[in-house]
Amino acid sequence: MHSTTESFQKNFALFEHSLNGESELPLHQLRRRSLERFSTLGFPTTRDEDWRFTNIAPLAATQFRPILVSEPHSITPAQVAAAGYAGQSGQRLVFVNGHFAPGLSQLGEVGNGATVSNLAAAIKADAAAVEQFIESLPATKPDTFAALNTAFIRDGVFISVPSGIIIEQPIHLLFIGVATSEATVAHLRNLISVGENAQATIIEEYVSIGGGGNHATFTNPVTQIAAAPNATVNHYRIQHEQELGFHIGTFHATLDRASTVNSITFTLGSAIVRNNTSAVLAGPGAHCTMDGVYLANETQLVDNHTTLDHAAPNCTSHELYKGVLNDRGRGVFSGRIIVRQDAQKTDSKQSNRNLLLSDTAIIDSKPQLEIFADDVKCTHGATIGQLSDESLFYLRARGIGLAEARAILTYAFAEEVVEHIAIPELRDYLETLLNTRLEH
């Protein structure tokens, strides 16, 4: 019935064949179960409430070639530096079409028992530990794309920071998609565990580098973060892949007692992007910020579905998503906040603001509050606006041309989120990235 899932089943047979004995491991049973789940669920359609505004028929209709082994590529370190964030030294793990590229990466000593490795190496070293880690994280709700990702688990990152360890330098993960003469797919899995009183900063970036082809790339990553009691994790996700790309990204964080997870998602590219971003505040006193900036130009579609699940008392969450929609661009924001019965004294604030730069741009914004506790503070708001004529006139009266004035004011709209970035070099990088996109 879901005939479009068939090509992925064929891919799976090829994938299985390429695993060389690894298919005997319990981890592979997890893959198989996930493939079954994927096949049962099938691709969602606009009849599914969670996908009402996001029609992924173009993705479902595409045959993607799996890239089973790391293929030779001609990407140079200079191209890597030009394509992504290069503002700091420290750990950088670079992946090309879903496979770790050690020659382009910088893996220094993290020390103190911390592990920063690519997932394929971690599986090779200790598949049982990886499998246990995945199983220990609470399952996200049944989702086709997460199931598809788990079915094809092979590479990505594995980061484990032991208790009390503070990793000062951000860990930069750069995922490069190379457009070739065929449509290709990468299922990346990132597993991040930050121990008690430990701290880490992760920059997860998705870019494209032209590879002489103009076919679609489909990036289907899943990132899971487990923050132990009193841990602090800063997570930045930056997506600016090619125009013909599909990107369905899943991010899930679990917050134990008094831990903090700050997540900022910048979405700038691709034909269809869907971000499923969720966090469970599972221990008392946890704090989560979930911010985002999304841009959709021409006929792009960017869909952010967020869930903040307050499962323990005295937790706080702040959410600010700002969207800029131009041309026939389309944005979707769905912000779900769940406050469970035990989650008394929850303080949750959600805000979604949108700037529409053309008459044909569209935004669908939907807050969803499900509150089962009685002593809580929850606020939410959504706005849709345009650039102010008076502000534009002020800039023009100083000699600044109309296009530049619009770009300046549009960037200013997004700046509120950019200033939440704790790393100055990364803030500058995002400023340049956004301004370049806005002046197109």
- Residues in contact with other proteins by the rule CB under 8 A: 388-391, 393-402, 404-405, 408-409, 411-416
Q: Closest approach of Cβ 412 to other proteins, in Å?
A: 3
- In whole angstroms, the minimum distance from the beta carbon of 399 to other proteins comes to 4
Question: Residue 294 is encoded by which pair of tokens?
Answer: 């999304």
* 103/96 Cα distance (integer angstroms): 11
- Smaller CB separation from other proteins, 372 or 394: 394
The nearest distance, CB 280 to other proteins, in angstroms, is 32
CB of 326 to other proteins, least distance (A): 18
> What are 136's two structure tokens?
């220990």
- Least Å distance between CB 414 and other proteins? 8
Q: Which is nearer to other proteins, 109 or 390 (CB)?
A: 390
Of the two residues 166 and 402, which places its CB atom closer to other proteins in the complex? 402
Q: Judged by CB, which is closer to other proteins: 371, or 395?
A: 395
Measured in residues, the chain has a length of: 440
The residues, any chain, with a CB within 8 Å of residue 234's CB and separated by 6 or more, are 170, 200, 201, 202, 262, 422
* Nearest distance from C-beta of residue 424 to other proteins, angstroms: 14
Helix then strand then coil, % of the chain, to nearest 5 = 25, 40, 35
- CA torsion angle 365 368 374 375 (round to 10): -40
For other proteins, the closer of residues 293 and 338 by Cβ is 293
Which position has the token pair 């937790």? 315
Shortest Cβ 84–other proteins spacing (Å): 24
Smallest distance, Å, CB 434 to other proteins?
11
Alpha helix positions (H), 310-421: 389-396, 402-418
DSSP per residue, 164-214: T-B--SPEEEEEEEEE-SS-EEE-EEEEEEE-TT-EEEEEEEEEEEE-S--
Q: Which is nearer to other proteins, 92 or 322 (CB)?
A: 322
Residue that the structure tokens 């993290």 belong to = 110
By beta-carbon proximity to other proteins, the closer residue of 168 and 389 is: 389
Would you call 399 exposed, middle or buried from its count of C-beta atoms within 10 A (0-12, 13-18, 19+)? exposed
Distance between CA atoms of 289 and 316, rounded to whole angstroms?
A: 8
Output b/e per residue, 174-192; b: 16+ Cβ within 10 A. bbbbbbbeebbbbbbbbbb
Q: Which is nearer to other proteins, 50 or 404 (CB)?
A: 404
